[in-house]
Amino acid sequence: MAVMRIGHISIRVMDMAAALKHYEGVIGMSRTHTDAAGNVYLKCWDEWDKYSVVLTPSDKAGMNHVAYKVERDSDLDDLAAKIRAFGITVEQLPAGSLPACGRMLTFALPSGHEMRLFAKKECVGTAVGSSNPDPWPDDIKGAGAHWLDHCLLMCEFDPAKGVNTVVDNTKFFMEVLGFFQTEQILVGPGGATQLASFLSHSSKPHDIAFVGAPTSGLHHLSFFLDSWHDILKAGDVMAKNKVRIDVAPTRHGITRGETIYFFDPSGNRNETFAGLGYQAQRDRPVTTWTEENAARAIFYHTGVLAESFVSVYT
């Protein structure tokens, strides 16, 4: 029984035409489907399943749900039992509830975010195919993102009231879904309070992350690029397209990743992320960042954390 990877994320956008210009022209995604309700489905060139991002028309930005793909359809039944045993209500959605996707489990995380699990989605192949492929397609657009890499969720956090859904989510992902923790930020007297948690189910430094905040929401969805050079090129693409850049190219201490943060036209924060950082393994000691080094953990070069980076999210 195994969660393999992030499968897709469904987000709300307020201007579909502007959103498509952004995700196609800046990120470099391709449209694969539009349904009768006007939801648009997109994939990156190096992804083989039919879509990884779903854009839904709305009057406000934010995340509808995030979905992870499991190895086998039978895993869904085993996981449903484990989720219920943890105390979380889980429902099953029939195949076809989303286009080209098999049956799904849907449930609310302790933080309130909707999560889904599925095993089957139509495989359409990468843009370079599986037989004698070139290293990239000739018609690559924008930043040319390879794939949807991860998301970071802001989680309700009020230690004075005994509320810390960062810890609750971490416990659920580790005990029920089989993730393991790679890094954390501890704050408060004696470093007793977990403010941030980074979790993996692969050899990547993180497949999902949680950070404490006054209310729950979506901090960012992240797209993978090859290298620091590609991060800089992505910055040029954003500048040419007048994209609102939140954080210019820099390095994280956490994950050692190279990054740019920026916003789509509706205000959903995006990231382009490069660098393996290190090989995450279950027996690797958890990296812990202390409160006095929290800003450097996030932005290693400057050690300065803009207040808006943690207070602005959808």
pLDDT digits (tens, 9 = 90+) for 207-240: 999 999 999 999 999 999 999 999 999 999 999 9
pLDDT higher than 90, residue 1: no
Catalytic annotation, pick one of 23, 41, 68, 261? 261
Contact between 24 and 141 (Cβ < 8 Å): yes
pLDDT higher than 80, residue 288: yes
Catalytic annotation, pick one of 23, 252, 258, 313? 252
Contact between 33 and 51 (Cβ < 8 Å): yes
Which residue ranges make up each domain of the chain? Answer: 3-118, 148-311
Share of the chain above pLDDT 90, in %: 97
Catalytic annotation, pick one of 47, 68, 220, 313? 220
Indicate the class that CATH gives domain 3-118. Answer: alpha beta
pLDDT on residue 308: 87
The whole-angstrom separation of Cα 238 and Cα 16 is 19
Q: Is 252 a catalytic residue?
A: yes
pLDDT on residue 171: 98
Task: Give yes or no on whether 3-118 and 148-311 have one common fold.
Answer: yes
Q: Is 300 a catalytic residue?
A: no
Q: What is the mean pLDDT of the segment spanning 195-211? A: 96
The whole-angstrom separation of Cα 126 and Cα 154 is 32
Across all residues in the chain, what is the average pLDDT?
A: 97
Burial track 168-197 (b if 16+ CB lie within 10 A, e otherwise): bbbebbeebbebbbbbbbbbeeebebbbbb
The whole-angstrom separation of Cα 181 and Cα 240 is 38
pTM of model > 0.85: yes
pLDDT digits (tens, 9 = 90+) for 77-120: 999 999 999 999 999 999 999 999 999 999 999 999 999 999 99
User: Superfamily for 148-311?
Assistant: 2,3-Dihydroxybiphenyl 1,2-Dioxygenase, domain 1 (3.10.180.10)
Give Cβ neighbours of residue 196 (< 8 Å, ≥ 6 apart): 166, 183, 184, 185, 209, 210, 211, 212, 254, 289
Q: What is the DSSP string of 95-114?
A: TTSSTTB--EEEEE-TTS-E
Residue 82: strand, helix, or coil = helix
Q: What is the mean pLDDT of the segment spanning 44-69? A: 98
Catalytic annotation, pick one of 206, 219, 258, 313? 206
pLDDT digits (tens, 9 = 90+) for 154-182: 999 999 999 999 999 999 999 999 999 99
